Amino acid sequence: MMLIPGFLNDNFTNDLVGDAFNYLNNNQNYETKSNMLVDIKEFKDRFEMDVDLPGFKKNEISLELEKGYLTISATPTKTKEPNERKGRFIRCERFTGANRRTFFVGEEVKSEDISARFENGVLAVTILKKKPEPKMEKSNFISILG
């Protein structure tokens, strides 16, 4: 089993380019790096992930397992009123939108092998290790008559 970040959902290309082109648009910050920082530890029988989700509530976070990929999503429910903040931002670094990260955990992992707990802005996810089940090769012998 592997815990590999999904490159497409992780904005992999942004990390390659870095901040080299941010000067082109100095009025708005269009940087889309994921603010969902993750620490992953491996133990003999499990993996443990600590995901930083400051400012989110438990009901705004979801985990989904599909075809061996674990997707962690966080979507804020509060929408800002148009007149809530006055003035023009000079720089806006705090992210207030939805976040999503995807990790390959292995096709043998089932949803009952994963548990999660959210406390003090940190989502703690435990994934039990599973040994890949050996696939029996099916032989297609054809009998010969006569």
Q: What is the pLDDT of residues 63-117, one digit of tens each?
A: 999 999 999 999 988 665 555 667 888 887 776 788 899 999 999 999 999 999 9
Query: Buried b / exposed e across 37-64, counting CB within 10 Å, b at 16+?
Result: ebeeeeeeeebebebebeebeeebbeee
Backbone phi, psi, residue 45, to 5°: -115, 0
Residues 6 or more apart whose CB falls under 8 angstroms from that of 84 comprise none
Tally the domains of the chain.
1
Phi, psi of 70 (to 5 degrees): -100, 120
**Is residue 73 domain-resident?**
yes
Q: Does any domain span residue 142?
A: no
Instruction: Give the pLDDT score at 117.
Output: 97
User: Is 19 within the bounds of a domain?
Assistant: no
- Report the run of H or E that residue 44 belongs to, with start and end: none
- Residue 65's domain comprises 34-79+96-130
Res 34: pLDDT: 62
Whether residue 61 is contained in a domain is answered as yes
Query: Does residue 146 sit within a domain?
Result: no
What is the tens place of the pLDDT at every residue in 8-58?
Answer: 444 444 444 444 444 444 444 444 456 789 999 999 999 999 999 988 999
**CATH code for position 75:** 2.60.40.790
Residue 114 within a domain: yes
pTM recorded for the entire structure: 0.64
Span 71-80, pLDDT tens digits: 999 998 866 5
Measured CA to CA, the distance from residue 82 to residue 33 in angstroms comes to: 25
Does some domain include residue 54?
A: yes
Asked if residue 90 belongs to a domain, the reply is: no
